């Protein structure tokens, strides 16, 4: 029989990992934001002469970072944004200054 703690944990994980719903009225605007973020992190990396493998120094796996550059919808968490900002010696609000 499932426990209340297990149910709460599953609901928490589902809410944290929630992807944008294509039926949302905000979906297109959110996708544009993700594309701008992808363009920004790509530009920052290249301007600092970094390679994707350098992102591992900031607790981002190479594969995870590659996905973010290839597919902007892979940028899904505030934690990822925080680590990306640190990789470029920025505060998170500077990274988000799009």
Residue 79: which CATH number?
1.10.260
Q: How many domains does the chain have?
A: 1
Q: Which domain holds residue 78?
A: 27-95
Q: Does residue 87 lie within any of the structural domains? A: yes
Asked if 41 contacts 64 with a C-beta cutoff of 8 angstroms, the reply is: no
Angle 89-63-97 (CA atoms, 0-180°, nearest 5)?
35
Q: Does residue 1 lie within any of the structural domains? A: no
C-alpha radius of gyration, the chain, whole number? 16
| Model pTM score | 0.74
pLDDT averaged over every residue in the chain:
85
For the stretch 23-71, pLDDT in tens is 989 999 999 999 999 999 999 999 999 999 999 999 999 999 999 999 9
Q: Does residue 71 lie within any of the structural domains? A: yes
Q: Does residue 19 lie within any of the structural domains? A: no
Alpha-carbon gap, residue 59 to 87, rounded angstroms = 9
């Amino acid at each position: 029989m499932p426990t209340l703690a297990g149910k709460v944990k599953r609901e928490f994980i589902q809410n944290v990992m929630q992807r944008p719903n294509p039926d949302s009225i905000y979906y297109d605007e959110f996708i544009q934001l993700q594309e701008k973020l992808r363009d920004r992190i790509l530009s920052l990396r290249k301007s600092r002469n970094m390679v994707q493998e350098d992102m591992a120094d900031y607790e981002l796996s190479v594969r995870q970072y590659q996905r973010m550059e290839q597919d902007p919808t892979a940028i899904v968490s505030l934690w990822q944004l925080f680590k990306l900002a640190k990789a470029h010696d920025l505060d998170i609000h500077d990274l988000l200054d799009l």
